[in-house]
Amino acid sequence: MPERGRTTQDQKEPEDLIPETPGIPGTRSTPGTRSTSGTLSTSGTPSKPGTPSTPGTPSTPGTPSTPGTLGAAAPLAQGAAARRTGLLVTFILGGLTATPPLAMDMYLPSLPEVTASLHAPAATVQLTLTGCLAGMALGQLLVGPMSDRWGRRRPLLVGLVGYVVATALCAFAPSVESLVAFRLVQGLAGAAGIVIARAVVRDLHDGMAMARFFSTLMLISGVAPVVAPLIGGQILRVTDWRGVFVVLTAVGIALTALVWVKLPETLPLAERHGGGVGAALRSMRTLLADRVFTGYTIAGGFAFAALFAYIAASPYVVQEVYGASPQTFSLLFGLNSVGLVAAGQFNGKVLVGRVSLDTVLAVGLTVVTLAAGALLLMCTGVLGEVGLAPVAAALFVLMSAMGITLPNTQALALMRTRHHAGSASALLGTCSFLIGAVASPLVGIAGEHTAVPMAVVQMAAALVAVACFMALCRPWNRRAGVRGGGPPCSSAPENLGEES
């Protein structure tokens, strides 16, 4: 059944190409339309097969080119250029969504060294993770509505510059208190990349195409968790933990330059919203009034909390509890990230469009809960004394299940709104990062020599996520709005509160 406001033809996206999108250099099709013959007319509308090309435009297949036309080779060249531009924008958006794993995961192998260097307890050092997460949560709440008002580019560039400055200051932090403060600012500024990347995806894609694109972004941004701990572990072989922040500063500078040169504005002036804080709060209140949107948002937030409990505790669990080296920890962390990326690609390439998104999400949450339960049984000694291998296997299953859980919660939530994508993205990110920030100190509450708090937090978070999904989203009680079983996409903000 077609989405509201869109035809069946609009929802058909080819599996092997990134769709042409408005506002991207190199593509000239109008929003929601596609050239039927692969050629583009000068007016920006698709040309039909069998019609003669006008001067200066590509000729259609099977028709002779008139004098002054580009000939048969031009459409192929222009199509290749469009695909290259689309891929470049995709990689940029992937780099922006990789900001959190880069800022977190490259720093993880050095947590025990930071504890010794700054003479601080493990629970206090873990606040450096909490500060960064809290900053990212609050920053998204501010930047999201700003991007709806002023467009995507300006808030993004300002945030990236602030991120670079704050990351450089972290390298020179004299105490754990100052490091926590600088990490808070780093998170506030870096939030721009996360929230605006999601909003750009909502600007350019709808329905199943959006779900596929989120899975593609997971492939790109998922490379960061794979390589970041490995890079961090190698950096520690030649320098101390401060060198990690020097490398992060260089990466931030490169990403800022790439965004400045290559990422276009995707929110037209006609679709921007005026007003100040009051208008932003009203749009968020309208979004939260939609029970289904709120259900997906909270379920995704607690699923992220289970993920972040692993991120915050795993350096101590693997290195202190089980005695592994920083390099072994980095390898295990990278392997788990490979599982997450592989599951995300299976979701985007195989499941999306064939299986209901709600069904896939239910399976993902079930697997997360079962893996967390197995970890809890192992860590509490119910299954006897176990080594690192079974614990690592359970963590691998849990992380892999995140690959089909997190992108689908985001896609299903964003399908509920069209004209407030920045605010919706901000609420999604704020919920996830605030809940994750609370989970971080809890995993270290019993010290650095036990894995029980990590398993307890993961189990509790998984159960709450399942409860929110069942109680608020109620997928069995809603009619399918798009192919694959997702919710209907609202075309106006006042529709958000309607029950489906």
Mean pLDDT lowest for which of 88-97, 197-206, 362-371, 442-451? 442-451
Give the residue among 4, 27, 406 at the shortest CA–CA distance from 204: 27
How crowded is residue 48: how many other Cβ atoms within 10 Å of its Cβ? 12
Instruction: Compute CA 496 distance to the chain's CA centroid, rounded to the nearest angstrom.
Output: 23
User: pLDDT tens, 320-356?
Assistant: 888 888 778 878 888 888 888 889 888 888 888 888 8
* Residues 298 and 466: beta-carbon distance below 8 Å: no
User: pLDDT tens, 181-224?
Assistant: 999 999 899 888 888 888 888 787 776 777 777 777 766 666 67
Provide the pLDDT for residue 420: 74
Task: Please name the residue that has the structure tokens 């922040």.
Answer: 245
Burial class, 115, CB count within 10 angstroms (exposed 0-12 / middle 13-18 / buried 19+):
buried
Quote the tokens at residue 491: 């075309």
Provide the pLDDT for residue 222: 63
Whether the per-residue pLDDT at 448 is higher than 70: the answer is no
The DSSP bridge partners found for residue 355 are 352
Measured distance CA(263)–CA(268) in Å, rounded: 14
Q: What is the pTM of this model?
A: 0.63
CA angle, 414 as apex, 87 and 46 as ends, to 5°? 50
User: pLDDT tens, 13-28?
Assistant: 333 333 333 443 434 3
Best-predicted range by mean pLDDT among 177-181, 306-310, 496-500? 177-181
Whether the per-residue pLDDT at 47 is higher than 60: the answer is no
Provide the pLDDT for residue 500: 41
Provide the pLDDT for residue 276: 59
